Amino acid sequence: MKILKILMWPFIMLKNILDGNYWAEKIGNKTGAYDKAHNSKLAQWLRSLTGWKWWAWQIGCGTVSRVSTVSTFSRSAGSGVDS
């Protein structure tokens, strides 16, 4: 089993180097950004929501973010087409 780890190590490191999530986690942990975000006032307020307030926040903000994302992508996808 140890020889398998030794043989696979270069491939695992290559995967990590090319993976954006690896670098985001590394930078987030090193700078303390995850802790700052977890302890922010907004995060604490969101964790305190219960019942209908939680549902309203999830549905309202989810709808707004999806609509803005879809409109952004549809504008950029259609920008190269001549009308």
Residue type at 58 in one-letter notation:
Q
Local confidence band at 83 (pLDDT 50, 70, 90 cut-offs): very low
Residue 28 · residue 34 · CB < 8 Å? yes
Q: What number of CA atoms fall less than 13 Å from residue 41's CA on the CB side? A: 0
The pTM (predicted TM-score) of the whole model is 0.52
The 8-class DSSP code of residue 40 comes to S
Give per-residue pLDDT as tens, 16-75. 999 999 999 999 999 999 999 999 999 999 999 999 999 998 898 888 888 888 888 777
Q: Which of 2-6, 8-12, 34-38, 63-67 has the weakest average pLDDT?
A: 63-67
Cα(3)–Cα(31) distance, integer angstroms? 35
1 in helix, strand or coil? coil
Percent residues over pLDDT 70 in the chain: 92
Q: What number of CA atoms fall less than 13 Å from residue 43's CA on the CB side? A: 7
Average pLDDT, the chain: 88
The 8-class DSSP code of residue 80 comes to T
